[in-house]
Amino acid sequence: MKMLTVSALVCAMMVLTRAAALPEAAPENGQPAKSHLVKSSTACSGRWSEFSGRCFHYVPKAMTWAKAEKNCESMGGNLASVHNLLEYHEIQRLIMSASYDYTVTWIGGSDAQEEGVWLWSDGTPFNYRSSGRFNNFQGKQHCLQINYGDDKRWDDTWCNVRRPSVCAKKP
């Protein structure tokens, strides 16, 4: 009986989803109208959220930076890189919706190879930097956390500190 109920619910959802996808009207210039419907991607399904062409996932379990990176790799991604203010705010929104707080969280930045030369663990260019405190306290802070302090800024800290993390991957 439970299987029949679940099947009926799945069918009803499919019908409603198709009904919501009304055909797009062509504007007067003959070009197709842009759809405002969000297209789901199997790569971003389940625990992953799509934003700006990538999938993001908040991992609440506190781990060291290296273990958090390995965990993201095991899911087909890396610790999240941030390339603009909109992505940064989306990552903060993801953290807030999952933890109900702006929890201090690992992202994929590190300057462990050379002090002051920041790299993303996914290999993308480190071309965006939010305001923060990059002081390399005691010469041993090489991993990037976000939502630090009252103003929720970026901060370099010791890589062996345990934090939740945000993973990202391409769909």
CATH assignment of 43-169? 3.10.100.10
pTM beyond 0.75: the answer is no
Torsion angle, alpha carbons of 79, 83, 89, 92, to 10: 10
Q: Tell me the pLDDT band of 42, cut-offs 50, 70 and 90.
A: low
Q: Where are the domains of the chain?
A: 43-169
Residue 54 confidence (pLDDT) above 60: yes
Residue 57 confidence (pLDDT) above 90: yes
Beta bridge partners of 122: none
CA–CA dist 93, 82 (Å, integer): 14
Question: Residues near 96 by Cβ (< 8 Å), separated by ≥ 6?
Answer: 102
Give per-residue pLDDT as tens, 94-143. Answer: 999 999 999 999 999 999 999 889 999 999 999 987 766 767 666 688 99
Among 137, 138, 132, residue whose Cα is nearest residue 109: 132
CA–CA dist 81, 135 (Å, integer): 20
At 159, list the tokens. 């890589």
